[in-house]
Structure 1
């Protein structure tokens, strides 16, 4: 029996008067990429933010590596081995790529061998190492944001819509990077681009109206256009 790395049981999250998550049950096993899919406003980003402690669950439990983390503060959750890449591409625009990476390394200067490993995924970062992050393209900024989450080893990486607003050619390049990255880390990834999700996902959970309404293998969802249409309002076949 596989022990899940991350587990949400009956998680509810309120933001002000709004009841966003309404009993989310989610399991992320160690290794590979779990895709978190759903229509706009379904609760995907709120799920990631609740895991990271940016929003506090009003009910239910969040367990990471067998330990409860629901309701803990965000720095404590990060120190337990979880990194978060928000959809806002959280980089410091006035700082160089190098300075952005140094700030993300909590335990000291980034390890040179690990930086070379990251450059293998995102070679543009090496070229722009001494450039202000603000002059980079959208895709390159997203690479910096992801690289910041990788600068120290993490058990789990939460990534929110890494392809949002990116050109198709950049997205194709990121697929290759993520295929290598998922061999090293467990990833929970929110994505709207179904082709990207289909190329990378090992397992999938679909959120609708604040609940997980489907969970299973990504391959099964990719192979069932009727299920895609019912859950997501789309069909991969229709976009071939």
Structure 2
């Protein structure tokens, strides 16, 4: 793809088995640095397994994963996270009995107390997600679904990350909350001080994908069957129908 940035993350022929099940069947995927890449596909295509395999939560059976040119597929999850790769799972992974403040502090590996947190970065996150400031001392389990999703993303971004993996952030959210989340993710994509954050985002909502994506990879049956620019897929209804079984026009 012309004009594409160098790859920050690259999967080459990745196979993943979960127990007796062969889920990924040779995934080839390139995530350019500084871009937001959408990972799309029907239910069961292997999108979540791909994210979990990148994070080392599922082990690579065959193939390799490279981050910034270095192989990471044999590393344990904590070492992958220490490369400044953050993962927001579909279930959000927040601690419901802890407050918003405690959740953020726990996610900040370099901070031992609240005083160690980067207050400028916190203010930036509060600008993206004002509810987090309002409910700073509330147990996270009492937040609404949208507020929990905002906390999950803020936890991933409480310290600078080179790569952010997010699994279906808008699932089950009301349209107004989805619009707010799109705006926040657009700002995260731009980054602070003009430094763009690299994001790999799994999403079922095609309108969200169109609004956010720079590039796109479409999965089917454990493989990437299409890769290109998101704008091109958004304009090609026949390709949408063939790859995803939908057309954008029907969802407007």
**Residues in 2 aligned to 1:77 and 1:18: alpha-carbon distance in whole angstroms:** 25
**Which residue in the other structure is 2:106 paired with?**
103
1:201 lines up with 2:213 in the alignment? yes
**Residues in 2 aligned to 1:106 and 1:234: alpha-carbon distance in whole angstroms:** 42
**Which residue in the other structure is 1:210 paired with?**
222
**Which residue in the other structure is 2:238 paired with?**
226
Instruction: Please report the TM-score for the alignment, with normalisation by the length of structure 2.
Output: 0.94
1:82/1:154 contact within 8 Å kept: yes
| Mapping 1:133-212, distance limit 5 Å | 133-184=140-191, 185-212=197-224
1:36/1:189 contact within 8 Å kept: yes
SS at match of 2:123: helix
SS at match of 1:95: coil
1:75 lines up with 2:75 in the alignment? no
Q: Choose from 119, 141, 144 the match for 1:112.
A: 119
Q: CA deviation at 1:238?
A: 1.4
**Residues in 2 aligned to 1:188 and 1:2: alpha-carbon distance in whole angstroms:** 14
Q: For residues 14-56 of structure 1, what are the alpha-carbon distances to aligned partners after superposition, in whole Å with 9 as ceiling and x for unaligned?
A: 0011110000000000112100000000000000000000000
SS at match of 1:107: coil
**Which residue in the other structure is 1:86 paired with?**
89
**Which residue in the other structure is 2:18 paired with?**
15
SS at match of 1:214: strand
Q: For residues 127-166 of structure 1, what are the alpha-carbon distances to aligned partners after superposition, in whole Å with 9 as ceiling and x for unaligned?
A: 0001110110000000010000000100000000000111
Task: Name which of structure 1's ranges 51-60 and 104-113 shifts more when overlaid on structure 2.
Answer: 104-113
**Residues in 2 aligned to 1:200 and 1:110: alpha-carbon distance in whole angstroms:** 29
1:54 lines up with 2:66 in the alignment? no
2:8/2:31 contact within 8 Å kept: yes
**Residues in 2 aligned to 1:139 and 1:78: alpha-carbon distance in whole angstroms:** 25
Pairwise CA RMSD of aligned residues?
0.9
Q: CA deviation at 1:72?
A: 1.0
Q: CA deviation at 1:239?
A: 2.1
**Residues in 2 aligned to 1:39 and 1:2: alpha-carbon distance in whole angstroms:** 27
Instruction: Please report the TM-score for the alignment, with normalisation by the length of structure 1.
Output: 0.98
Please list every run of 5 or more consecutive structure 2 residues that lacks an aligned counterpart in the other structure.
Answer: 192-196
Q: CA deviation at 1:5?
A: 0.1
Taking a change above 3 Å as real, the CA distance of residues 2 and 197 of structure 1, as seen in their structure-2 partners, is closer
2:207/2:251 contact within 8 Å kept: no
